Amino acid sequence: MQRPDVEKQQEILQCAARLFAARPYHEVRLEDVAAAARVGKGTLYIYYPGKEALYLEIIRDGFGRVVRRIRDELKDRGGDPWVRLEAITDGLIDFAFTFPEVYRIMRSGVLTAEDAGLQAVRRQLTDEIERVIREGIETGRLEDPEPELTAQFMLSFIRGAVLYPPAGMTRDSLKLHILRLLRRGIAAGGAA
């Protein structure tokens, strides 16, 4: 029996992400993924019991990478909530632009609602954002009656703009606009 190989598994995930981002879920066959990854179809079953498991792993892996990246970014950012929110925004936008196929799949909503593992890792992401907002409220720098909702809004702002970008949008213009909206919306006293 063949043993799992981490590099091969990552190659399979990357190839599958490109295919699922380019075509609707129901049109992607495991044979397509195997051919793109240059492995036999049987090799896919060493790693994933089927197409749904492969698809969900792409999403779980993507959210996991975003959470790790944001946690790493926040380690060295001190206590200023605006610096921390900027780091989160940077991390989310950078991930979306660096890994567009994975990001598109993560944000697609296909097959994700009932996967407990996926919901747990997605919750880690919103918890990180909410925690920074709550810390800002505690220090008096932010005013927000609904930090959990604001965390969801941040993700939705980025999702909408990245998936349906207005003409001329860049990473920097998106980041500046999101931070402007946050500063006008949750800054203590109405301005940061």
The verdict on 40 and 66 lying in the same domain is no
pLDDT, one tens digit per residue, over 17-68 is 999 888 888 899 999 999 999 999 999 999 999 998 898 888 888 888 888 9
Domain count, the chain: 2
In a domain, 142, yes or no: yes
Global confidence as pTM = 0.81
CATH of the domain at 117: 1.10.357.10
The verdict on 14 and 69 lying in the same domain is no
Nearest C-alpha neighbor of 143 from the set 132, 151, 131, 134: 134
Place of tokens 């720098």: 141
Mean pLDDT of 110-139: 85
- Count CB neighbours of 51 within 10 A: 19
For 36, the domain range is: 1-48
pLDDT bucket at 109, cuts 50 / 70 / 90: low
pLDDT, one tens digit per residue, over 144-192 is 999 999 999 998 899 889 888 999 999 999 999 999 999 999 988 755 4
In a domain, 53, yes or no: no
